[in-house]
Amino acid sequence: MPDEFGNLDWEKGDGLLPVIVQDAANLRVLMLGYMNAEALAATRASGLVTFYSRSKQRLWKKGETSGHVLELVSVEADCDNDTLLVLARPQGPTCHLQRASCFPDAPGDFLADLDALVAQRERERPAGSYTTGLFAGGVRRIAQKVGEEGVETALAAVAQDDEALLGEASDLLFHMIVLLRARGLSLRDVAGVLEQRHRK
């Protein structure tokens, strides 16, 4: 086993560790499962999250029947080395009830969901979509919209009530997300720059 996982406390859970799975895009908790050492090795080797099924008494690759696999992004142990946190990209609903999460009200990052939806619109260009129309107009037109929304947001801040300011700020943020996507960038990229600045 790799050195980074050499100190895992398998004995505490009789050879099994609980595994919390989060969506890498929006950090929503998707499910809880269990891994033994073999399941962890299979997960890291294949890039697809694999558990040890306590009911089936065997390794179980998530999505092996439904096709809704979990693509591994990262895995890390907690401070006691007896629980794992997996970040994954779900390919379809994680829950057998066809929900995104096994926890129906699990919070996630709405802006990340919106960013993903804008990216989908950019790829698919569905007819009749306002976002499709923006992308069809090109970067210059989208940038012009961002400028207009920025001015409207500033004016709302000094001359209108909170509701108006929030409405204009929402419009500005949406069009900024579209502009970033038009340039092949994402809101996550912006967050990365802010995080780097914060650490300086």
Summarize pLDDT for 58-74 with one digit per residue, the tens: 999 999 999 999 999 99
Give tens-digit pLDDT for 139-193: 999 999 999 999 999 999 999 999 999 999 999 999 999 999 999 999 999 999 9
pLDDT of residue 3: 55
Residues 6+ apart with CB under 8 A from 135: 121, 122, 125, 142, 178, 181, 182
User: What is the pTM assigned to this prediction?
Assistant: 0.76
- Whole-Å CA distances, 50 to 59, 96, 101, 141, 151: 7, 16, 17, 46, 50
Q: What domains, with CATH codes, occur in the chain? A: 3-90 (3.10.20.810), 110-199 (1.10.287.1080)
Q: Are 54 and 32 in contact (CB under 8 A)?
A: no
Rounded to whole angstroms, how far apart are CA atoms 180 and 186?
6
- Output b/e per residue, 9-28; b: 16+ Cβ within 10 A: ebeeeeebbebebbbbbbeb
Task: Indicate if the pLDDT at residue 2 is higher than 50.
Answer: no
In the predicted structure, residue 1 carries a pLDDT above the cut 50: no
Residue 5: pLDDT band (50, 70, 90) is confident
- Structure token pair of residue 125: 């260009």
CA dihedral 69, 74, 75, 79 (to 10 degrees): -140
pLDDT digits (tens, 9 = 90+) for 75-128: 999 999 999 999 999 999 999 999 999 999 999 999 999 999 999 999 999 999
